[in-house]
Amino acid sequence: MVIDPGEFAPAKVNLALHVTGQRDDGYHLLDSLVVFAGAGDRVTVAPGTGLAITGPGAASLPVGCDNLCLAAARAMGGGVRITLDKHLPVASGIGGGSADAAATLRAIARLGRPLPRPEAILALGADVPVCLAGRPARMTGVGEELQPVVLPPFWLVLANPGVAVPTPAVFRALARKDNPPLPPLPPLPDAMALAGYLAATRNDLEPPAMALAPAIAEAHAALAATAGCLLARMSGSGATTFGVFATADAARAAASRLARERPDWWVVAAPSLG
């Protein structure tokens, strides 16, 4: 008997995120360098209806009709029973819900159904298109414009201090919404070169998020202080922070130290994907 392994839904990490404007309809324009980590959820589908959530993060994500997995299934005609093995923290700036929706789309497409039109995919959430592509990209517009990029191999340590930061509140607290875009991406031969490039960029949502939730600044400082961390930053609108590391050994040692020192945090080391 062959067991369907399902579709992996990796964490999305905004290595840099510049807010470059705001449309008349209220949507913000972004310029973001996105990568995916080898840590995430897993989605399986079978004939039927409904959604079952398992895994260590199940308790934090109640089953509701607004779940993005169910929305993705409806966009592809429904008629499937979804099982979501939840590991990523909820509402944490690493695209968990969007990654789950994208994995649901891929899983149903493997049944022979066509993917929805691009506008229907974007309607599921601004991060769903990049999560569906599942490879490093420069994401612009409101999330619909994707340019694949080549990044060197590196490792990430993700740390979430377990605080909730509402995304609308972070955007409202932005000092300005017409910031310059990312600088051009040069050839990046290794993790050190990547960190050097990222040092000239920002996450424009980081200062307002830290003001709303000081625990993010604490996680950022803790990551930055670990041996081998080339750069620390918040992802998305928070509260997950990440550190860039050149090697698996350095990342795993840093994650192990943080997990010992802060057992109440969600901490994981993972390679970058793609």
- Residues known to be catalytic: 12, 127
**Do residues 192 and 154 lie in contact, with contact meaning Cβ atoms separated by under 8 Å?**
no
C-alpha distance from residue 156 to each of 85, 126, 208, 263 (Å): 22, 23, 23, 19
176 Cβ neighbours under 8 A, 6+ residues apart: none
E-assigned strand segments in 23-149: 28-47, 51-54, 80-85, 137-141, 145-148
Lookup result for tokens 């590991």:
87
Tokens of 260: 């010992």
Per the DSSP assignment, residues forming a β-bridge with 29 are: 21
How, if at all, do strands 137-141 and 28-47 pair? antiparallel
